[in-house]
Amino acid sequence: MTVEKITTLLLAAGKGSRLQPLTNHWPKCLMPIGKIALLEHWLMALRDAKLNKVLVNLHYLSPVVEEFLTRDRFKSWIDYVYEKELLGTAGTIQENRKFIGDNTLLLIHADNWSQCNLEEFIYFHQNLRPKNCPITMMTFKTESPKSCGIVELDEANVVRNFYEKSSNPPGNLANAAIYLIDKEALEWIDSHPNHKDFSTEVIPNFIGRIATWHNINVHRDIGSINNLKIAQKDNQRNYKEIIENDKWQTEYLKNPIHELVKSS
């Protein structure tokens, strides 16, 4: 697996309005999954996959997330950028094209809790996808199709139809909002500066040219309190070095957000 020419963009700027009152004083991206913050799970998965060029976008309660990201453990490989106004997914890509450069972009909506195998996802994109597909989309089976983007695939598992939060979706195979995007698609996004939303303005223009890789492990949108509580029961990696040797983590375990999640 070649990861040197992959840049990761973790989208962590959302307000988490569906998680209120939990998000009134604590950001969605730092909600606990077990003893570890959601964003920490993502960053450790990237570390384990040897992905070391990472940008995190910030907006809501950004000082809290900045304190999290400026720990010694992240200083050599994590950058972050503050968005005064939310730019939309494609808008954030456009704003940070210099950072991405000519690399393939791994785009992750970090408000999802996922136990995907990033190494296998990258291997598929680099070696197994149809070569006319500049985008690979991760998919998963959802229990709430109306709240997701639902895909229909052709015989090569390429997206032939896409239904974004449809009232009558044709199935439960959902877009996981995790993508690998090659230079061709990035340049198309550059050339359409008025297109700010990835799901509704970019994906429709690449129907028939989006490969898919299916995540058979856990994938949850923790945007609702119920899903956040369910996620606490999922199997999780025990990042022992974080829990035992990190000042921020020690304080995090004392944060009232843990009891608030349990009691919500």
Q: How confident is the model at residue 1 (pLDDT cuts 50, 70, 90)?
A: low
Q: pLDDT of 120-135, one tens digit each?
A: 999 999 999 999 999 9
The ranges assigned to domains in the chain are 6-263
pLDDT for 3 equals 82
pLDDT for 220 equals 92
Predicted TM-score (pTM) of the model is 0.95
157: alpha, beta or left? (left if phi > 0; alpha if psi -120 to 50) = left
The closest of 35, 23, 77, 63 to 225, measured between CA atoms, is 23
pLDDT for 238 equals 66
Q: pLDDT of 150-181, one tens digit each?
A: 999 999 999 999 999 888 888 999 999 999 99
Query: Considering the domain 6-263, what is its CATH architecture?
Result: Alpha-Beta Complex (3.90)
* Structural Rg of the chain based on CA atoms: 18
Task: Say how far apart CA 93 and CA 131 lie, in whole Å.
Answer: 23
User: 44 phi and psi, to 5 degrees?
Assistant: -70, -35
**Which position has the token pair 């015989």?**
155
Q: Looking at the predicted structure, is the pLDDT value of residue 210 above 90?
A: yes
The full length of the chain comes to 264
pLDDT for 143 equals 87
Mean pLDDT throughout 83-95?
A: 96
pLDDT for 44 equals 92
Using DSSP's 3-state secondary structure scheme, residue 124 falls into helix
User: Following CA atoms 79, 81, 82, 88 in sequence, which dihedral angle do they give, to the nearest 10 degrees?
Assistant: -130
Instruction: Report the interhelical angle of 38-48 vs 118-127 (nearest 10°).
Output: 50
